[in-house]
């Protein structure tokens, strides 16, 4: 039987990194096994579900490249894929439960009778979890009286207002849509015995379950939407690459058998399986995520880098069509971890006036004999007959020799004089791109500034 997995978000908020990782694991597992990945919208909670939230989720999945084989906008043989449009199917399944004597009415609600025996979940990640729902549900802790009280263990599956409850529609749809593997967050593990009881009452073979560990903040607290890195649309805005985010999300709970950490989507598809998923909670680390992004950025082709960096350059006022852009972008590969960090690395090349960083200037003004160094440097570079990296280095080296200092002693004044800062791209390639007249102009301007 072909593998069929599903991502079943409730459109009540943004696409969170935990949800996106669940989608990714479902997608990878289906693709690894040549199966199908289905997107199902769990929007039975009409009050909390919104079209905007759904759009954010769809956009996030699309940005990540987690395309669905069946679902909204794509269709498929098992639609509709929004639970709010599947009322007739749920009515049909409720009739089956009624016919089997599994349900009864209670104050206008419909309750499913839970069996009085041990139910064991055999989870691919968490192992065996056993529970007796009747025993477990018969007592409930009342947070107001702070006491245990008797409770009805039977599960409400339909509200008095006619709306169906999550547990029921979730199980019905997994049956109807032929889902073979339910991969979801560990927060749903405690629901699974109820779901198994429903599968059994409906005469259906349950899917295989895999509950993946939660993704927490570095200090072990639950991530909230306000935490850095929590929301997928912010990754796009911050200049992450979708495949890098997928790569990092894959590592939140999964590892390859070797120590590798950088993977393309094709590699993840090849390697991903549950034997690599661990059962302890993962800790989200924004810096590590940025590092992964930097690695992906470095491996982009020149064309890809140019296309992806384009919008970030334009936003910073760097004309993306400038013919120095392709060469300038090469200088950013080792210096930027995010697309949004690229403009700052090369901005000076495109500025008509140097913006001097005070701390950098102070490092140079504190040097002995700075005017002598600057004039030797300026004269040496002005006299260079050619203007490639080799010729520029030779000119700086000769200028240094001429005044009896090491070449290194001229590099910092040159960098600060021309680029205004001690950070940014490598100096000599920047000099090449700026061209000889502009470099001389900047050095003279800097010397005048220091006078």
Place of tokens 């960096």: 309
Minimum distance of ligand GLU from residue 244's CB (angstroms): 25
Nearer to ligand GLU, 9 or 60 (CB): 9
Q: Which stretch binds ligand GLU (CB under 6 A): 4-12, 130-138, 299-307, 424-432?
A: 4-12
C-alpha 229/C-alpha 63 separation (Å) is: 16
User: Which of these ranges, 3-11, 295-303, 344-352, 380-388, lies near ligand GLU under the rule CB under 6 A?
Assistant: 3-11
Rounded Cα gap, residues 8 and 43, in angstroms: 9
User: Rule CB under 6 A: which of 88-107 touch ligand GLU?
Assistant: none
- Please answer whether residues 76 and 69 qualify as being in contact, where contact means their C-beta atoms are separated by less than 8 angstroms: yes
Q: From the list 30, 31, 36, 42, which residue makes contact with ligand GLU (rule: CB under 6 A)?
A: 42
CB-CB contact of 202 with 102 (8 Å): no
Provide, rounded to whole angstroms, the least separation between the CB of residue 445 and ligand GLU: 60
283: which DSSP letter? E
In the complex, the smallest distance separating the C-beta of residue 93 from ligand GLU, rounded to whole angstroms, is: 16
Q: Is 170 in the site for ligand GLU (CB under 6 A)?
A: yes
Distances from the Cα of 61 to the Cαs of 18, 47, 235, 271, 356, in angstroms? 13, 24, 12, 21, 42
CA atoms lying within 13 Å on the CB side of residue 107: 3
How does DSSP classify residue 276? G
Would you count residue 18 as binding ligand GLU (CB under 6 A)?
no
Piece of 5-13, 116-124, 211-219, 238-246 that binds ligand GLU (CB under 6 A) = 5-13
CA 282-231-29 angle, to 5 degrees, is 55
CB closer to ligand GLU, 84 vs 330: 84
Whether 225 is catalytic: yes
User: Crossing angle for the helix pair 192-201 and 166-176, nearest 10 degrees?
Assistant: 60
The smaller minimum CB distance to ligand GLU, of residues 81 and 446, is found at: 81
Q: Which of 251, 302, 318 is nearest to 278 (CA)?
A: 251
Give the nearest distance from C-beta 18 to ligand GLU in angstroms: 10
What DSSP assignment string belongs to 91-159? HHHHHHHHHTT-EEEETTEEEEPPPSSEEEEEETTTEEEEEEHHHHHTEEEETTTTEEEE---SEEEE-
- Contact assessment for residue 81 and residue 259, using Cβ atoms and an 8 Å cutoff: no
Contact residue for ligand GLU among 3, 4, 5, 8 (CB under 6 A): 8
Query: Residue 69 or 270: which CB sits closer to ligand GLU?
Result: 69
Find the part of the chain contacting ligand GLU (CB under 6 A) among 8-16, 256-264, 355-363, 387-395. Answer: 8-16
Q: Residue 324, interface with ligand GLU (CB under 6 A)? A: no
Q: Which residues within the stretch 171-200 sit at the binding site for ligand GLU (CB under 6 A)?
A: 182, 184, 188
Q: Which of 134, 225, 257, 373 is catalytic?
A: 225
Residue 188 vs 283, nearer CB to ligand GLU: 188
Q: Are the CB atoms for 233 and 4 separated by under 8 Å?
A: no
Q: CA distances (Å), 166 to each of 174, 206, 335, in order? A: 12, 17, 48
Selected binder of ligand GLU within 3, 4, 5, 10 (CB under 6 A): 10
**Of the two residues 170 and 421, which places its CB atom closer to ligand GLU in the complex?**
170
| Cβ nearer to ligand GLU, comparing 5 with 247 | 5
9 scored as a contact of ligand GLU (CB under 6 A): yes
Cβ-based nearer residue to ligand GLU, 42 or 123:
42
Is 5 a binder of ligand GLU (CB under 6 A)? no
Q: What minimum distance in Å lies between the beta carbon of 184 and ligand GLU?
A: 4
d(CA 281, CA 270): 24
Using CA atoms, how far residue 328 sits from 42, 169, 170, 358, in Å, is 47, 55, 52, 25
What is the rounded CA–CA span in Å between residue 262 and residue 273? 17
Positions marked catalytic: 225
Applying CB under 6 A, the residues found at the interface with ligand GLU are: 8-10, 42, 170, 182, 184, 188
């Amino acid at each position: 039987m072909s593998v069929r997995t599903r991502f079943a978000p409730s459109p009540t908020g943004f696409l969170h990194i935990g949800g996106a990782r669940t989608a990714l694991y479902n997608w990878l597992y289906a693709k690894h096994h040549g199966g199908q990945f289905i997107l199902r919208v769990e929007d039975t909670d009409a009050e909390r579900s919104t079209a905007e939230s759904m759009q954010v989720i769809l956009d996030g999945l699309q940005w990540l490249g987690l395309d669905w084989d069946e679902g909204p906008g794509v269709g498929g043989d098992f639609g509709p894929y929004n639970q709010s449009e599947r009322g007739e199917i749920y009515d049909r399944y409720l009739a089956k439960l009624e016919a089997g004597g599994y349900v009864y009415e209670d104050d206008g609600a419909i309750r499913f009778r839970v069996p009085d025996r041990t139910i064991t979940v055999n989870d691919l990640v968490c192992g065996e979890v056993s529970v007796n729902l009747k025993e477990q549900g018969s007592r409930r802790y009342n947070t107001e009286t702070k006491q245990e009280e008797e409770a009805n263990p039977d599960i409400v599956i339909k509200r008095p207002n006619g709306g169906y409850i999550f547990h029921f529609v979730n199980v019905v749809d997994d049956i109807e849509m032929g889902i073979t593997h339910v991969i979801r967050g560990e927060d749903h593990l405690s629901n699974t015995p109820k779901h198994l009881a429903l599968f059994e009452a409906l005469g259906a073979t349950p899917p295989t379950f895999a509950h993946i560990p939660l993704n927490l903040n570095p200090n072990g607290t639950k991530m909230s939407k306000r935490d850095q890195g929590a929301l997928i649309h912010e990754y796009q805005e911050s200049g992450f690459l979708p495949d890098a985010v997928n790569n990092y999300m894959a590592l939140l709970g999964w590892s390859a058998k070797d120590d590798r950490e950088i993977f393309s989507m094709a590699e993840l598809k090849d390697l991903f399986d549950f034997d690599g998923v661990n059962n302890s909670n993962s800790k989200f680390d924004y810096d590590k995520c940025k590092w992964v992004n930097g690695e992906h950025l470095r491996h982009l082709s020149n064309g890809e880098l140019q296309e992806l960096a384009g919008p970030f350059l334009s936003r910073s006022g760097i004309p993306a069509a400038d013919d120095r852009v392709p060469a300038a972008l090469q200088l950013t590969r080792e210096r930027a971890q995010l697309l949004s960090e690229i403009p700052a690395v090369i901005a000076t090349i495109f500025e008509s006036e140097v913006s001097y960083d005070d701390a950098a200037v102070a490092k140079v003004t504190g040097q002995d004999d700075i005017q002598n160094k600057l004039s030797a440097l300026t004269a040496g570079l002005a006299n260079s007959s050619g203007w490639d990296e080799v010729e520029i280095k030779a000119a700086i080296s000769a200028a240094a020799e001429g005044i009896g200092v090491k070449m290194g002693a001229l590099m910092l004044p040159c960098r600060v004089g021309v680029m205004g800062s001690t950070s940014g791209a490598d100096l000599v390639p920047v000099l090449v791109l700026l061209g000889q007249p502009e470099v001389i102009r900047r050095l003279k301007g800097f010397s005048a500034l220091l006078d």
